[in-house]
Amino acid sequence: MNLFELQKLNEKYKCFITINKNFEQEAELSKSTQKPLSKWYFSVKDNICTAGLQTTAGSKILENYIPSFDATAIKRIKNAGGIIIGKTAQDEFGFGSFSTNCAFGAPKNPHSLERVTGGSSGGGACATALLEDNHIAIVESTGGSISCPASFCGVIGLTPTYGRVSRFGLIDYASSLDKIGIMAKSIEKIALTLQIIAGKDEKEATSSELPVPNYLEKLKKPPKKFKICLPKEYVEGIDPKIVEIIKNTLKKISDFVEVEEISLPMTKYALPVYYICAMAEASTNLAKFCGLRYGMESEKKDKKYDAYFTEIRSKYFGEEAKRRIILGTFIRSEGYERKFYLRAMKIRTLIINEFKNAFKKCDLIIAPTMPFIAPCFDEVEKLTPLQNYQADILTVAPNLAGIPMISLPVEKISGLPVGLHAMANFFNEEKLLQFAQLLEKEKLLVF
C-alpha cells in the first residue's frame, strides 16, 4: 500500500475524510521495531481523536479541528507498532444508518457504487472491504454503527461489551451507548487488536476493571458445541431470503451447534427507547460545540452569547444533527423528562434483564444483522426520518443492553453481502470470536 494508491482509491469510493500523508515513512520506522502490529495499517473513524490528524466526526462544525492527543485505543495501537493511514467517513456525529449524513461526502459501497455503505461507520467498512488483509478499521457503535456497515460491505465487524475498550478520546454521541470496536477480514487480527486496545483506562471512568483474556489462546480452545438461541422477533417481517440464509448457515454447522427458538418480547420497544435515550444524551453532548472552544467560529464575536451560539450551530450543524438536538432537548425538558426519558430508561433495564435471562440457556443469540441488503442512494434519499430510524430495528436492542456482538458476512444476494449477527453475554467476546472462527474454518465467510 502506498499514498498514491490510497488517494486514487479514495477518489472513487470516498471512504476517507483525511489521509495521513506521512504513513509510508511511519510504516518504515515501525517495521524495524518488531512490535506486534508493526506491519498492520489502521484506519480510524473520524470521531476518534488522533494527534496531528484532522478529526471532524463527519461534521462541518469540527472542520480543521486537529487534536493534540490520541484516544486511548489509538495510543495503544501506536505503542504496539500500528500505522494510522487516515480518518474514515461517517454520518455526522454518528447520526445515521447509511453514512449519507457526512458533511464531506458519502462513501460508496465497494460491491456497487450506486449503493450505500451503511452507517454510521461506513467509511471504515468500505476501506476494510477494499484494502489488503493487513488493514484493520477502528470504528465506533452507538446503536449498530459497526454491525450495519459491516453487513452491507461484507466484512467482519466486532462491537465489544460497553466498557471493554476505553472511550477516552471518542467524540461522544450518547455516552451510555458508545463503544469503540474493530472491522477486518480476519478473526485472528480482530482478536489480537482487541487484546491490545481493551482494558482499564484511568482516564475513562466507564472502562472495565475486569482482566482482558488472551483472545488468541481462547481461539485455540473452542467449545465442542455452541448453544444457539434464535429469537422469533428478529426474523419476523425481515426479507425472507435473508432469514433463509441465516438458517441455512446454522444448518451447515449443525454438528457444532444446538439451536433453540426463543422469544425476546421487549425487542418491540427497543427502537423508540434507543432513540429517546440517544437523542437525550446527544443534545447535551453536543452543547459544547458552540464556536468558542472547538472547530468552526465566526469572525464577528461582538454579539451576545446566545445569538453567537445560534449563528454558529445553525450554520455548521447538518439537518439530522439539528433534528436530534431539538428532539433530545425536548425529551429532557421539564414536564416531559418523566413522561419520555425516565420511562425509556426503565424499559432499557427490562431489555437488559431479558438478555441476561436468555444467556442463562444459550451461549449466543443469532439473527440477521440487517433487515435488507444495502439500498441504493436514491432509495435512501426518499426515506423519511422515521423510516431511516427503522433501519436499526435489529441492532439497537443489543446496543442498549451493552452486550458484545459481531456481524459476519455469510452469503450474498444478487452480489450484495448478507450479515449474520451473533450476540453474547457481557464480556464474552471470546465466544463471538470462537464462533466466527468456526464459520471461517468451515469456509462459510464470504468476502
**What range does the domain containing 39 cover?**
3-265+353-441
Q: Are 75 and 33 in contact (CB under 8 A)?
A: no
**Does a structural domain hold residue 290?**
no
What pLDDT score does 377 carry?
Answer: 99
What pLDDT score does 357 carry?
Answer: 98
Q: At 409, which CATH number? A: 3.90.1300.10
Instruction: Give the predicted TM-score (pTM) of the model.
Output: 0.98
**Does a structural domain hold residue 255?**
yes
What pLDDT score does 295 carry?
Answer: 77
Average pLDDT, consecutive stretches of 10 residues, N- to C-terminus, the chain (447 residues)? 96 99 94 91 99 98 97 99 99 98 98 98 99 96 99 99 99 98 98 99 98 98 97 96 98 98 98 98 95 81 83 95 97 93 98 98 98 98 97 98 99 98 99 99 98
- Residue type for 341, please? Y
**Does a structural domain hold residue 344?**
no
**Does a structural domain hold residue 345?**
no
Q: Which residues contact 215 (CB under 8 A, 6 or more apart)?
A: 191, 192, 194, 195, 429, 430, 433
**Does a structural domain hold residue 178?**
yes
CA–CA gap between residue 119 and residue 201 (Å, rounded): 28
Count of structural domains, the chain: 1
**Does a structural domain hold residue 86?**
yes
**Does a structural domain hold residue 392?**
yes
Q: Which residues are catalytic?
A: 45, 120, 145
**Does a structural domain hold residue 287?**
no
Backbone torsions φ then ψ of 18, nearest 5 degrees = -135, 135
